[in-house]
Structure 1
Amino acid sequence: MSDAAKTPSGPLAGLRVLDLSRVLAGPWCTQILGDLGAEVIKIEQPGQGDDTRRWGPPFVEDGSRDAAYYLCANRNKKSVAINLADPRGAEMIRKIAIDCDIVVENFRVGGLVKYGLDHASLSQINPRLIYCSITGFGQDGPYKDRGGYDFLIQGMSGLMSVTGRPDDQPGGGPLKVGIPISDLVTGLYAATSILAALAHRDRTGEGQRIDMALLDTQVALLANQASNYLNGGMLPRRLGNEHPNTVPYQDFACADGDILVALGNDRQFRDFCKLIGRPDLPDDPRFAVNGGRSPHRQALQDEMQPAIARWKSDDLIAAMEAAKLPGGRVNDIPHILADPQIAARGLVRDMTRSDGTPVKILGYPGKLSKTPADYRHAPPRSGEDTREVLMTLLNIDGAELTALMEADVIAERLR
């Protein structure tokens, strides 16, 4: 059975999502809904498709030449190429929305009004619709009309002010996170909010609008750093690999490389000091409890580093594991993807595109005992489901499809 022929089996099976989003935050959200069983219809611009199809190299070496980036956020979807700027295309999308449960879009504020695809328009024809808008700064406020991009949001939100090494160290200065964290977490929050809206609809029968902003999401993720400032007046700063509150919680140099030490309480600190041959350190009143270790972190590091440097990294990690102390090493991506723990968890999965091209994806991380995620439809080529969806949902016949294609209102890619 091909990936595309599999029937949804997850907890959201029976729900239909109209995906008007592109790039990452929106597609990440809709991929989660698809993994959990929803039917996701991804609308793409004919001849162009999702921007990320061109965000390479690397590219998939098949007829599509889709970028590997695109593959990360678009499985379990059907691709329908409709020109929404054409009134006939917009009308088709409105008709599809009548039979959908969820719409996800990431156009600029007000950008879908002229097509009749905004929340006000679609909720009139489908009051049960859950309509999620994802923008950089939200539907209101002084920045609402600005475009939002992950890199900008990481900087504007304050995240980069606490990421990287201190200014007085080599390589110091603000850094972005190595993945588009603001986009990804906004997609996660959007999916969570949609599930909450579904629960509300189950009780009341009414849909609602969800307003998601990248800046809001990233500021909410400041978590302990923001709380340290709001409730304690502590000004967050860049600490490299150190923790702002818990010490020691950082990297240390062994004889043959660095390891990570993540000690979360005073007992673990005492056990670790004994392990490395410095059982006297907890007797120092500066270091006895975490509240003292944090303001005296440099003095503690100066005491611990020579003892740790005598160890080989594998030996110390093994000794920490035997003592049930949290530690490890920094893996590169090839190493972690080949790690036996990741293999045991089945996170790397093989799928097959409609033309037979094999691709690898990272699966949904949650393990649901009764309704697990499924993987039934590899990331589609642009427009490959146009004919099937329009014939099935809108009862458009072959002759009309041909006329619409000749008028560049829709497009399809032959399998």
Structure 2
Amino acid sequence: MSALADLRVLDLTQVLAGPYCTMLLADMGADVVKIERPGGDLIRENPPYVDDADAEAYGGYFQSVNRGKRSLELDLGADADREAFLSLVERADVVVENFKAGTMEKYDCGYETLKERSPELVYSSIRGFGDPRTGETERQGQPSFDLIAQALGGVMEITGQEDGPPTKVGPGVGDLFTAALNAVGILAAVHHRERTGEGQYVDTAMYDCMVSLTERAVYQYSCEGDSPTRQGNSHPTLFPYDAFEAVDGYVVIAAFSDGHWEELCEAMDRPDLAADYPDAPSRLANREQLRGEIADWTRRHESETILDLLGGRVPSAPVQDTADIFADSHVHDREMLADVAQPGADGEMTVAGSPIKMTETMPRPRGRAPLLDEHREELLDEERADSGRGVAKSDD
């Protein structure tokens, strides 16, 4: 049995943040029912595709974060579909949505309405700026995407080269970090309900989460009074902790402790540097000179030679591209690449596996993403059967 096998989640989310949150729950065994608006999730048709685009049911974007879910297409503006949704709520544990504040209320499906139907319900929202129930601000109701959250939350200001512009982090951390924290909040609320019988509202805002993600900048500003800004791949308080160019690419070296510094100097055949800069303050005070010394050394060697010389004694690694990741035995041994069926294509699609590892209830992708409305009969038949037997969600 999987860890969340007894948890039923109604997922009204779309695009990335919400679907990634519920994907984490699905990987851990939750029965995630994706309630899709007419026409389906906005990113169903987004590329890339495995084979022939015309034959694909959906692209990689949708597949990656919606694997292992069931799909039901409902129009909450239609009375019959709204009643079907409310009936599903009565037998659900969790509802998750990522609409603008007030959207669910327009359909009379807001938290208060759903709570009347299911007092123990955990209702969770992911929004750009949060929900008025947990703290009202003038930004609520404004649209937001990952780029907006990264800009407002300070992530872009501290990302990029010193002489370059503010830079977005490659992965959509405004979505993904928010999604992960929202999943934590949902599970905490479920745990609270198990102890007290009390449901509640869980609210996770992208802007809030980016402030949390840039926690280092917050305490730096508090202590120093200056806003931290971009400094490339280096670290404001640790050295060396940076990327260095090699003959065939880049390597990263994190040798900021005294012991690791000595090991690095030995590998470089520079005992003088270890003697002249024996502690962290002296290295930080002379970081530019020392960065140049290390860079001169790495530029004379290939990445593999550098890593061999450091011999696992100094924290270091090559800067890998995705092809390198696919070729890395560690990634395969940890089951971090998973192949799932791709409807309409001759081949499978590879998606990222679950990073959460458990000894007794191992999370893993549980099948491909659903076709739009694929599980209508299955879900409505279950609903009719449960209604006929008077089955409550606690008996699922």
Pairwise same-fold verdict (TM > 0.5): yes
Distance in 1 (alpha carbons) for counterparts of 2:22 and 2:330: 27
The residue aligned with 1:379 is 369
The TM-score with structure 2 as length reference comes to 0.91
1:294 aligns with 2:290: no
The residue aligned with 2:47 is 56
The residue aligned with 1:160 is 156
Query: Residue 354 of structure 2 contacts residue 365 of structure 2 at CA under 8 Å; is this kept in 1?
Result: no
Q: Aligned-pair RMSD on alpha carbons?
A: 2.0
Distance in 2 (alpha carbons) for counterparts of 1:258 and 1:377: 37
1:113 aligns with 2:105: yes
Query: Residue 35 of structure 2 contacts residue 73 of structure 2 at CA under 8 Å; is this kept in 1?
Result: yes
Distance 1:290 1:233, change over 3 A: farther
Query: Residue 95 of structure 1 contacts residue 394 of structure 1 at CA under 8 Å; is this kept in 2?
Result: no
Task: State the secondary structure of the residue aligned to 1:382.
Answer: coil
The residue aligned with 1:179 is 171
Within a 5 Å distance, the mapping from 1:173-322 to structure 2 comes to 173-284=165-276, 287-322=277-312
Further displaced range: 225-234 or 28-37: 225-234
Task: State the secondary structure of the residue aligned to 2:34.
Answer: strand
Deviation at 1:248, TM superposition (A): 0.8
Distance 1:18 1:370, change over 3 A: same
The residue aligned with 2:70 is 78
The TM-score with structure 1 as length reference comes to 0.87
Query: Residue 353 of structure 1 contacts residue 380 of structure 1 at CA under 8 Å; is this kept in 2?
Result: no
Residues matched between the structures, number: 381
1:325 aligns with 2:314: yes
Query: Residue 51 of structure 2 contacts residue 345 of structure 2 at CA under 8 Å; is this kept in 1?
Result: no
The one-letter amino acid of 2:89's match is A
Distance in 1 (alpha carbons) for counterparts of 2:55 and 2:382: 26
Deviation at 1:144, TM superposition (A): 0.7
Superposed CA deviations along residues 75-99 of structure 1, whole A, max 9, x for unmatched, are 1110001111212211111110000
The residue aligned with 2:81 is 89
Deviation at 1:343, TM superposition (A): 1.1
The residue aligned with 1:367 is 357
Deviation at 1:222, TM superposition (A): 0.4
Further displaced range: 268-277 or 307-316: 307-316
Deviation at 1:359, TM superposition (A): 2.8
Query: Residue 57 of structure 2 contacts residue 343 of structure 2 at CA under 8 Å; is this kept in 1?
Result: no
Distance in 2 (alpha carbons) for counterparts of 1:94 and 1:58: 35
Query: Residue 242 of structure 2 contacts residue 252 of structure 2 at CA under 8 Å; is this kept in 1?
Result: yes
Deviation at 1:386, TM superposition (A): 1.1
Deviation at 1:396, TM superposition (A): 11
Distance in 1 (alpha carbons) for counterparts of 2:260 and 2:100: 50
Deviation at 1:176, TM superposition (A): 0.4
**Stretches of structure 2 lacking an aligned partner (at least 5 in a row):** 388-396
Deviation at 1:71, TM superposition (A): 0.9
Superposed CA deviations along residues 204-248 of structure 1, whole A, max 9, x for unmatched, are 001000111000001100022222222343531111111111111
The one-letter amino acid of 2:162's match is P
The residue aligned with 2:140 is 144
1:338 aligns with 2:315: no
Percentage of identical aligned residues: 34
Distance in 2 (alpha carbons) for counterparts of 1:291 and 1:91: 66
Distance in 2 (alpha carbons) for counterparts of 1:73 and 1:308: 39
**Stretches of structure 1 lacking an aligned partner (at least 5 in a row):** 1-8, 398-415
Task: State the secondary structure of the residue aligned to 1:210.
Answer: strand
Query: Residue 55 of structure 2 contacts residue 345 of structure 2 at CA under 8 Å; is this kept in 1?
Result: no
